[in-house]
Amino acid sequence: MAEILNLGLYYLDKAVTNLGYQRRDGENFTPTEVTENVKVKTTEIMALSGSRFFVRLGGLSGAVAVSMAAYGAHAFKVDDEKGAQLKKTFETGNKMHLVHSVALVCSPLCGRPYLTGALFTIGTILFSGSCYVHALTGNTKVRYITPYGGFALIFAWLSMLL
């Protein structure tokens, strides 16, 4: 039984060493040290993998932004002043959508990736979404949502300082 326990500790020691933890004095890890080191490394890995969600979401958002740009380039008839203004609104929403999709991909690099990613996501949906709806339908009531999206985007950029 002691041999099995020692063998288990040996392989656990090797696993922890391979994760980047080595004792400076060359001694083997005690079971308590191994457990603490594995917990720390596991927490770091889980935090990083959870924030990768925003990388994927940013990629999807960027693809939608490019698709909307292609649609907007052909959907608007600029025969009158109203059509030109709606196209300009659409393009503003699209530019903000594309820029903040790239920012969303970078959110895992921040100190608080979930806060930053959530603010970028909410801000992009509110700002760009309301611009798209207004431009495509002519509905002026959704324009009142746009500033809230803008504030969320500003706070997202500021959250990168945390």
Question: What pLDDT was estimated at residue 52?
Answer: 85
Q: Which residue has the higher pLDDT, 82 or 28?
A: 82
Question: What pLDDT was estimated at residue 1?
Answer: 53
pLDDT in tens, 52-105: 899 999 999 999 999 999 999 988 888 899 999 999 999 999 999 999 999 999
CA 74 to centroid of chain Cα atoms: 30
Interacting residues of 117 by C-beta distance below 8 A, sequence separation 6+? 51, 53, 54, 57, 104, 107, 108
**How many other C-beta atoms lie within 10 A of the C-beta of residue 87?**
17
pLDDT in tens, 114-154: 999 999 999 999 999 999 999 999 999 999 999 999 999 99
